[in-house]
Amino acid sequence: MRPIVALACPSCERDIRVELPPSTSPICSTCGEAGPWDGTGLTDDGGLTACLACGHPELHTSKDFPQALGIGIVVVAALLAPFTFYASLAVAGLLDALLYRFSPNVVACYACEAAHRGFHAKPRHPGFDRTIFERLRFGERAVMGSPMRPGGTAGAEDPEH
């Protein structure tokens, strides 16, 4: 699988999918606007130290699983629960656990929310950290918020929840 970056168009907010290495700056197929591209956060072995779209060094790892599918499974199981003696809820839980286990990881940028798929796992980026998210979204108004780590999130520990 070739590395792919999915980023939002700055004009119409539709997804722009970029396969690496890009030949030119990414162009939105809907409106023709040029998307952001930094491209400097790639390591020699194919890992990420920063977002390839905006260059921000703080990234997080999550499962590449469509949330709507997970919610749909639970809703269908809940609707069937009275007719299946609630066994459908156990089946939904098992199915959800299996899908989660076998779903690939995606590395996402806190700043621009670009999704990086198919990149080398090293350096490892921690899971989502709400304090980083709030600091970037709300700035000085953030109730919580930790200062940026020197060098970003590459190789950092997972947040304590």
Backbone angles phi, psi at 50, to 5 degrees: -155, 165
The residue behind tokens 């699988």 is: 1
Query: What pLDDT score was predicted for residue 36?
Result: 86
pLDDT higher at 13 or 143: 13
| Numbers of helices and strands, H then E, in the chain | 3, 5
Among the listed residues 2, 120, 107, the one whose alpha carbon sits nearest the alpha carbon of residue 53? 107
**In the predicted structure, residue 145 carries a pLDDT above the cut 60:** no
Residue extents of the structural domains in the chain:
1-63+105-161, 65-103
Query: What pLDDT score was predicted for residue 55?
Result: 92
pLDDT single digits (tens) 27-86: 888 888 888 888 888 999 989 999 999 999 999 999 998 889 989 999 999 999 999 999
Calculate ∠ Cα 22-27-30, nearest 5°: 140
Query: What pLDDT score was predicted for residue 161?
Result: 64
Q: Tokens standing for 35?
A: 């998307």
Q: Which of 4-13, 22-31, 141-150 has the lowest mean pLDDT?
A: 141-150
| Alpha carbon distances (Å) from 49 to 17, 41, 97, 161 | 20, 5, 30, 24
Cross-strand pairs, 8: 15
What is the pTM assigned to this prediction? Answer: 0.81
Mean pLDDT of the chain: 88
